């Protein structure tokens, strides 16, 4: 019993210090007043957040083009509308839309039977009249008739000769008109749409098709009146594709001296000496007119953020312990490729941050990479 009591007293004396040890450990972990922990914490605040690695570009002036974009219509300098010169029923169509033809290539055949029968009738009358003339001349030359009969025959001969001349003219006219029943291409080019079909009746006002020579194309640009004083021959005209990429550059070759009364615009034409393969006659294309070039600044689109309608960017500026990011409002204009045109807020030499912009704050330390 004495041994057991001794062991109990010994354990109680050892455990009496446990609450105090636990309290001291908790205080050290929570960073209480005094001791080495608060000093270490103060040292952490002085160190601050690490500098973020960013990329920046230095702004430099470069030529900025002042431009305007229009919708232009492509037309051919050698575009022909094909209409027949006679009336009749279409008996055959020799070509199809899109065919490349030469001058003189048959396009459409109009049934010539009625005209051919008319020519044959006139030729028959002419042959009969020619026979009459020959008989009268033979009779007069033989002198086997009286004076009265001679005078009568002479008059008939003159009348028959005049009639024969008229019939000759009618035959020639009929033969020429007979050739019109086969419609041929007046020039080389590409055949357009053919709205008529075999069996249709056509007149001289019927449009059979069109033929366009793609070697001579022009862009027709309708410019508003406020731009008319600036329009002049020689200004560059850029043809753009669907993505806004320049695919051809030409020049204005004509500016109309008067205003279109229907649209109140001024027509300008640009000869397409450089023509993209995809451009076709009567196509609408995007045309950008370059009015002039002036020195200016551009800023990458990725460097700009928009907050409540205002544009901002971050500029790397010198700080106490290295460069820091400073948020700066900026005024931007048109888009040129992947850049904005700077209209205010920046100057040449500014280092604009172009990466990690969304994670930056005003005054944050940065490390230029």
Measured CA to CA, the distance from residue 345 to residue 62 in angstroms comes to 17
Tokens of 200: 């249709």
- Strand locations in 225-323 (E): 236-240, 246-255, 265-271, 284-300, 305-307, 310-317
Contacts of 366 (CB under 8 A, 6+ apart): 51, 52, 53, 54, 316, 322, 323, 324, 325, 353, 360
Number of alpha helices (DSSP H) and beta strands (DSSP E) in the chain: 5, 21
Contacts of 101 (CB under 8 A, 6+ apart): 95, 107, 185, 188, 189, 190, 191, 211
Q: pLDDT tens digits, residue range 7-34?
A: 445 444 444 444 444 444 444 444 443 3
Residue 248 β-bridge partners: 239
Scanning 143-212, the segments in alpha helix (DSSP H) are 147-179
Asked whether 76 and 212 are in contact (CB, 8 A), the reply is yes
- The helix/strand/coil state of 122 is helix
Tokens of 261: 């009364």
**Residue 267: is its pLDDT beyond 90?**
yes
Q: Are strands 100-101 and 310-317 parallel, antiparallel or unpaired?
A: unpaired
**Residue 4: is its pLDDT beyond 60?**
no
Q: 6-10, 158-162, 218-222: which has the highest mean pLDDT?
A: 218-222
Measured CA to CA, the distance from residue 206 to residue 217 in angstroms comes to 26
Report the share of the chain in percent with pLDDT over 90.
Answer: 30
**Residue 269: is its pLDDT beyond 90?**
yes
Contacts of 122 (CB under 8 A, 6+ apart): 167, 170, 171, 174
Contacts of 335 (CB under 8 A, 6+ apart): 301, 341
Mutual orientation of helices 147-179 and 113-142 as an angle, nearest 10°? Answer: 160
Residue 309 pLDDT = 87
**Residue 274: is its pLDDT beyond 60?**
yes
Residue 253's CB is within 10 A of a number of other CB atoms, namely 16
Residue 15 pLDDT = 44
Q: Stretch 57-61: mean pLDDT, rounded?
A: 92
- Ramachandran region of residue 173, left (φ > 0), alpha (ψ -120 to 50) or beta? alpha
End-to-end Cα distance, the chain: 80
Q: How confident is the model at residue 168 (pLDDT cuts 50, 70, 90)?
A: low
Q: How confident is the model at residue 58 (pLDDT cuts 50, 70, 90)?
A: very high
Q: To which residue do tokens 């109680």 refer?
A: 12
Q: How confident is the model at residue 358 (pLDDT cuts 50, 70, 90)?
A: confident
| Burial tier of 156 (Cβ tally within 10 Å: 0-12, 13-18, 19+) | middle
Measured CA to CA, the distance from residue 115 to residue 174 in angstroms comes to 7
């Amino acid at each position: 019993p004495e041994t057991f009591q001794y062991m109990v007293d010994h354990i109680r004396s050892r455990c009496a210090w446990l609450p105090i040890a636990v309290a001291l450990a908790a205080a050290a972990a929570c960073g209480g007043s005094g001791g080495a922990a608060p000093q270490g914490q103060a040292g952490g605040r002085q160190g601050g957040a690490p500098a973020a690695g960013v990329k920046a570009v230095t702004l430099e002036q470069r030529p900025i083009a002042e431009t305007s974009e229009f919708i232009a219509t492509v037309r051919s300098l050698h575009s022909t509308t094909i209409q027949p010169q006679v009336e009749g029923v279409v008996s055959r169509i020799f070509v199809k839309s899109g065919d490349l033809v030469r001058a003189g290539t048959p396009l459409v055949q109009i049934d010539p039977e009625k005209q051919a029968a008319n020519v044959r009738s006139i030729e028959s009358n002419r042959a009969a009249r020619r026979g009459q003339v020959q008989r009268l001349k033979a009779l007069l030359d033989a002198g086997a008739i009286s004076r009265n009969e001679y005078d009568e025959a002479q008059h008939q001969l003159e009348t028959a000769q005049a009639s024969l001349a008229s019939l000759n003219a009618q035959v020639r006219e009929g033969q020429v008109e007979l050739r019109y029943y086969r419609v041929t291409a007046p020039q080389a080019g590409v055949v357009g749409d053919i709205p008529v079909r075999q069996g249709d009746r056509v007149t001289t006002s019927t449009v059979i098709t069109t033929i366009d020579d793609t070697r001579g194309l022009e862009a027709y640009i309708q410019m508003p009146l406020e731009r008319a004083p600036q329009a002049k021959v020689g200004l560059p005209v850029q043809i753009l594709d669907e993505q806004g990429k320049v695919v051809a550059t030409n020049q204005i070759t004509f500016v109309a001296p008067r205003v279109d009364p229907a649209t109140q615009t001024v027509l300008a034409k640009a000869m397409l000496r450089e023509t993209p393969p995809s451009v076709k006659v009567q196509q609408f294309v995007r045309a950008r007119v370059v009015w002039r070039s002036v020195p200016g600044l551009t800023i990458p689109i990725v460097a700009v953020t928009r907050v409540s309608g205002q544009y901002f960017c971050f500029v790397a500026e010198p700080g106490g312990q290295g460069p820091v990011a400073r948020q700066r409002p900026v005024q931007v204009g048109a888009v040129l490729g992947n850049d904005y045109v700077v209209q205010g807020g920046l100057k040449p030499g500014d280092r604009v941050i172009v990466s990690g912009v969304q994670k930056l704050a005003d005054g944050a330390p940065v490390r230029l990479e």
